[in-house]
């Protein structure tokens, strides 16, 4: 671990529930946990994957955060696209290294980071956002991840996201100069973006729309039909994940007890269309 990179500290609490804390390492800083503290200087210089003891005796596993852990723990403005949903969306969009994709809105920047990784150094992500506080937060979260990555991995994370502060429904002129391999819409009223983005979405390209409830899906499909927008709805899916808890049993004749954990992750509906024009 080096100063300036991100470290994830993980400890187990009562009933084996994990507590994850994210910090940017700085020589003078201290990581506070509910039952004590661990100075960053004890972490700097260690290899990721070590278990260290905080004052108060708690054992902390220190490692580098994965991208999904980072987006779940980074500062948040609007709700992020959840990593479990992002995996499904990326699969539906079928994007590749080198592709050009458009997203709206940037929000807290979670989806932008996953898109950045998927299209790689030769690809391009255009990320539109109407609110300047969200635009700035998305840029900041992206910048922090990139700089920590560079220190921890000694190689550059692609600088391939263009954050654009603009209402997507007024971006028709911008669309004339690009060809989009795919589009993802994560905004309250995606209907207003479709007439604009379809102008540059390549024929057969995918537009994935991330929606929180099924009535929004119906409104969207209704708008596509009434306005005769050139999209075909291919599929609508809900992504559910169920976590399991597997713990050593207290009774000697049973090695482990396994059961679904009580906590269920949030779910979502998504629609997927294909450009016909």
Residues forming contacts to ligand SAM in the complex (CB under 6 A) are 78-81, 104-105, 107-111, 128-131, 134, 167-169, 186-188, 192
111 versus 220: smaller Cβ distance to ligand SAM = 111
Q: How far is 268 from 237, CA to CA, in rounded Å?
A: 8
Minimal distance, residue 220 CB to ligand SAM, in Å? 14
Residue 77 near residue 134, CB atoms below 8 Å: yes
38 versus 112: smaller Cβ distance to ligand SAM = 112
21 versus 72: smaller Cβ distance to ligand SAM = 72
Within 10 A of 94 (CB to CB), how many other CB atoms are there?
12
Q: How far is 186 from 26, CA to CA, in rounded Å?
A: 35
178 versus 249: smaller Cβ distance to ligand SAM = 178
Minimal distance, residue 94 CB to ligand SAM, in Å? 19
Minimal distance, residue 203 CB to ligand SAM, in Å? 24
| Residues whose CB is less than 8 angstroms from the CB of residue 251 and which lie 6 or more positions away in sequence, other chains included | none
Minimal distance, residue 181 CB to ligand SAM, in Å? 18
| Alpha-carbon distances of 35 from 39, 109, 253, rounded to whole Å | 14, 32, 34
Backbone angles phi, psi at 129, to 5 degrees: -145, 135
169 versus 261: smaller Cβ distance to ligand SAM = 169
Minimal distance, residue 131 CB to ligand SAM, in Å? 4
Minimal distance, residue 208 CB to ligand SAM, in Å? 11
Q: How far is 276 from 94, CA to CA, in rounded Å?
A: 17
Helix H, strand E, coil C: the string for 230-256 is CEEEEEEEECCCEEEEEEECCCCCCCE
58 versus 109: smaller Cβ distance to ligand SAM = 109
């Amino acid at each position: 671990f080096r100063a300036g990179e991100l470290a994830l500290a993980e400890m187990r609490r009562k009933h084996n529930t994990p507590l994850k804390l994210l910090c940017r390492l700085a020589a003078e800083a201290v990581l506070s946990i509910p039952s004590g503290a661990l100075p960053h200087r004890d972490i700097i210089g260690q290899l990721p994957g070590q278990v260290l003891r905080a004052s108060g005796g708690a054992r902390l596993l220190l490692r580098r955060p994965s991208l999904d852990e980072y987006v779940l723990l980074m500062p948040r403005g609007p709700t992020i696209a959840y990593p479990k949903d992002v995996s499904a969306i990326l699969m539906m969009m079928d994007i590749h290294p080198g592709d050009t994709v458009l997203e709206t809105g940037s929000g807290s920047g979670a989806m932008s980071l996953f898109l950045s990784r998927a299209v790689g150094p030769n690809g391009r992500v255009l990320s539109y956002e109407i609110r300047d506080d969200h635009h700035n937060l998305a840029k900041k979260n992206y910048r922090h991840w990139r700089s920590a990555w560079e220190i921890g991995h000694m190689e550059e994370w692609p600088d391939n996201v263009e954050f654009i502060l603009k209402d997507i429904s007024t971006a028709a002129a911008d669309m004339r100069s690009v060809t989009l391999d795919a589009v993802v819409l994560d905004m309250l009223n995606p209907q207003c973006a479709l007439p604009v983005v379809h102008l540059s979405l390549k024929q057969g390209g995918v537009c994935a729309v991330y929606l929180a409830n099924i009535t929004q899906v119906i409104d969207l499909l209704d708008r596509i039909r009434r306005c005769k927008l050139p999209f075909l709805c291919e599929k609508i899916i809900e992504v559910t994940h169920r976590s399991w808890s597997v713990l050593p049993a207290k009774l000697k004749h049973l090695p482990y007890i396994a059961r679904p954990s009580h906590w269920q992750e949030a779910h979502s509906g998504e629609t997927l269309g294909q450009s016909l024009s």
